[in-house]
Chains A and B, each alone.
Chain A
Amino acid sequence: MAELTMVEAINLALAEEMRRDERVVILGEDVGVDGGIFRVTKDLIEEFGEERVIDTPLAESGIMGVSVGMAMRGLRPVPEMQFSGFSYLGFHQIESHLSRMRWRTQGGRQVPVVVRMPYGAGVRALEHHSESREVFYTHMPGIKLVVPSGPRAARTLLVAAIRDPDPVVFFEPKALYRAFREEVSDEEDEPITIGKAMIRRDGTDLTLVAYGAMLPRAMEAAKTLADGGIEAEVIDLLTLSPLDHEAIAASVRRTGRCVVVHEAPLSYGPGAEIAARVMEGAFLKLQAPVMRVTGPDVNVPYFAREQLYLPDAERIADACRATMNY
C-alpha cells in the first residue's frame, strides 16, 4: 500500500496496463521525455521506450486520427489531449470516427481508444485551461465518459477504461491531481465497472449527486449538513455516460429529494439529464423539485474569480437546506 496522489495513481495504472498488455501505447504532446506537463506519464518512456510512449507533433487532430488508425490495426492507444480545452481540434476525429467506427463497420472494426484529458477549474490557469465541457462528449453516442473523484478511483477506472472494448473519454479533474493522497494498493485492485455509480456516504434525508472535483465539496457539504441534523446520501457518478440513473433514482425513492452538483454551466448540463431521469424513476416519491448547484452560464472567468464561479460546500449546503424546506 502506498499513499498516492491522483497523478501518481494514473501513472501507476498506465504503467501496469502497459506491462500487462503490449498493445497499450501512449501518444501526445510532451508525454515522452517530459513525462507530460502534469507529469502523469512521468518515467514511462524510460520503461517502455519511445515506440510506446510517443512524443507527437503538436496537432490534436493528428493525435486523434492516428489513434483511430492504430486502434483499427489492433493497438490500444491512450492519447493525451494536453487540456480538454484543446481537444476541440481533435473533436472532429472523435465525433466522426472514434465514436462510430464500430457502428459504421457493423462491428468489423473496433477502436478501443482511451482519450485522457485534464478538465476543470481551480488551478489558477490561463484562459481555455479551466472549462468543464463533459457534455460535448456525453452527448455523443458510442463514447463512454468517466470522471474519477480521487486517486483510488482514478487508478481503477483507468484500468477499466483501457480494458474496455469501446472508446472512452477519461476526464481528469486537474484540481484534484495533487489535492490529496489516498491509499492505493500495490496489488491489482478490482477495476470499477464503467457505468456504475457509488454511494460515498449513506443518508436518508436527501440525495446529493456529484462527480470529479465536485465530489470532495459535496462530501464537505454533507458533513456540514449532518451537524445541522440533515443526513445526505452522496452519490459519486464516476461514469457520466452511460449514466447509472437507476442508482440515482433508487436513492431518491428512499430520500424523496435530490440535489445535483457540477462545475459545468447550468443550462443543458448533466444536471438537466439527471433531473429528467429522477422524474422518470422517482416522480411519485419526490417531495421537492430537483435542485442544481452548478457553474453559471458563462465561461470560467480568469482565475481571480474562478473560485467564485465554482460551486463550493457552502452553496451546496445552502441548496440542500432549501430543498429540505421546500
Chain B
Amino acid sequence: MPREPLQFESRVERLSILDEDGKADEELVPEIPDDLLVRGYRTMVKARRFDQRRLKLQRSGRIGTFAPVNGQEAAQVGTISALDETDWFVPSYRETAAHFWRGTDPKDILLYDAGYNEGGALAEDSRTLPLAVPVGTQMLHAVGIVHAARLLGEEEIAMTYFGDGATSQGDFHEAMNFASVFDCPVVFVCQNNQYAISVPRSRQTRSETLAQKAIAYGVTGIQVDGNDIFACHVAAREAVDRARNESRPTLIECVTYRLEMHTTADDPSRYRDEEEVAKWRQRDPIERFGKWLMARGLVDDKGIERMEEEITDEIQAAWKATEARIETLKDVGPMFDHVFAELTPELARQRARMQDGHSPGGWKDG
C-alpha cells in the first residue's frame, strides 16, 4: 500500500468585511436595521467609557481589579448581537460589551467589582450567566445547558466566550468534543486577543490558527477579523443558524487585540512594546465602525457628542446608585446566604457567633 495524504474535510475559512479605514466590501455587509447599527456602536462606546471610569475607581481604591474590554468591542458586540434574548450567553470575565448588549445593568457589574456577592445575583429566568473566572470552565456549562434543554424537549442554543489562552485548557477540548459528539448547538467564540496575561499566542500553540482546531472535532471553524464588527456578526449569524437548524457547534476565532492591561493588576510594558500596540490602535474597532456609520449618514459629530454625554451620565448615575447600595451591605451575615438552599444549623451558629463579634468556631456548653 502506498503512502498517501489523509483526506478529510476542512471547513475553515477566513472572513473580513470592514477594513481599517472604515471601508467595507458592501456586497458582504449584512442586512441590519439602522437603529440596531447605532445601538451596536453605542454599546461599544459605552463599554469603553465604562472601563475608563472603572479604571479611575480602581486606582482610587473604590473598586477592585477587573478585566478591560478595550479593543475587543467589535468581537463581542458583533457576535452577541446574533443571539436572541432567549438564547444563552455564557461568558468568561472580559465580556462587558456583550453584557451591555444583553442588558446587564452596570450597577450589578460595579457592585461585583466593588467586592459584593450581591452584584452576581441572577434572576431565575435569566439566560445570561455571571462571569466565570476559572479559565475555560464555562464552555462546558454551555454544552450542558443546551443538552439539558434538548432532553427537556426544548430547542435552545448557547454562545460561549473564551480567550486564546483558554484553548490550551483541557476544558476547551472536552467542551468542543462533547458538543460535537452530542450534536450540541453551541457557538464557541474565541477572542484571540494575542495574549494570555503576558504569554503570547505563539506560546499557546503551534497551530497556525485557532480556528483550525475545529477540524479535529468535526466542527465548522471560521477565523474573522475580530475588529471588524460585520465579519464578526456574519460569522456569528451563520453559526447561530447552524446551531438552530442543524444543531451543530461552530468555532469562531476573532482575531483581535487587547489594547489595555490584562487586568488592572497587570503591567503590559513587561511583555510587549508600544510599537506593537500602536499598530493595533490603527485597527481600532470603534473608530472604523464609526467612520462607516458617518459615511452612511447614520451618525454625525453632534450625535456622537450627545451619545457620549448620555453615556457619561448613565455611568455616573450607576456608580452613585452603587455607592448608596454599598452603604446598606456592611453586615457580615450575607456571606452565609445561599451556601445551601437552607441555612444548616452549623452555619447558623457560625453566623450568629460572627455577628456577635466572635470567631465562627468556639466553645459550647457540654
**Footprint of B on A, CB under 8 Å?**
23, 25, 51-52, 56-57, 59, 61-62, 64-75, 77, 89, 92-93, 96-97, 102-110, 141-142, 144, 165-166, 195, 242-243, 245, 249, 253, 276, 280-285
Contacts and interface: CB of A to CB of B under 8 A. Distances in A.
Contact of B134 (A25, A71, A92, A103): A92
Given A62-B177, A106-B120, 20 more contacts: A25-B151, A57-B178, A62-B178, A68-B144, A69-B143, A69-B144, A69-B147, A70-B151, A73-B144, A73-B149, A73-B152, A74-B148, A75-B152, A92-B137, A97-B141, A103-B338, A105-B121, A142-B340, A166-B340, A280-B366
Contacts of A97: 132, 134, 137, 141
Contacts of B337: 103, 106-107
B344 A65 contact: no
A61 B341 contact: no
B175 interface: yes
Q: Pick the 5 closest A-B CB pairs, nearest first.
A: A69-B144, A65-B140, A108-B122, A62-B174, A106-B121
Contacts, number: 154
A59 to B, nearest CB: 4
Nearest to A249: B366
Contacts of A107: 121, 337-338
Given A51-B151, A66-B144, A242-B346, A105 B366 contact: no
Interface stretch (B51-59, B123-131, B232-240): B123-131
Interface of B: 117-118, 120-124, 126, 129-130, 132-134, 137, 139-149, 151-152, 156, 170-171, 173-175, 177-178, 181, 337-341, 344-346, 361-364, 366
B130 A65 contact: no
Contact of B171 (A65, A67, A106, A144): A65
Contacts of B141: 65-66, 68-69, 72, 97
Nearest to B125: A108
Contacts of B123: 108
A56 B118 contact: no
B122 A75 contact: no
5 contacts: A61-B174, A75-B151, A77-B144, A109-B124, A280-B361
B54 to A, nearest CB: 20
Contacts of B362: 280
Contact of B341 (A67, A106, A110): A110
Given A61-B170, A108-B121, A249-B366, A72 B145 contact: yes
A277 to B, nearest CB: 9
The listed residue with most B CB atoms (<10 A of its CB), out of A64, A93, A106, A109, is: A106
A165 B123 CA distance: 17
Nearest to A144: B340
A65 B144 contact: yes
B117 A103 contact: yes
Contacts of B137: 65, 92-93, 96-97
A105 B122 contact: yes
A284 B364 CA distance: 11
A50 to B, nearest CB: 11
B130 A105 contact: yes
A66 to B, nearest CB: 4
Contacts of A25: 151
Contacts of A280: 361-364, 366
A103 B117 CA distance: 8
B143 A66 contact: yes
A102 B341 contact: yes
A73 B145 contact: yes
Contacts of A57: 174, 177-178, 181
A31 to B, nearest CB: 15
A153 B22 CA distance: 69
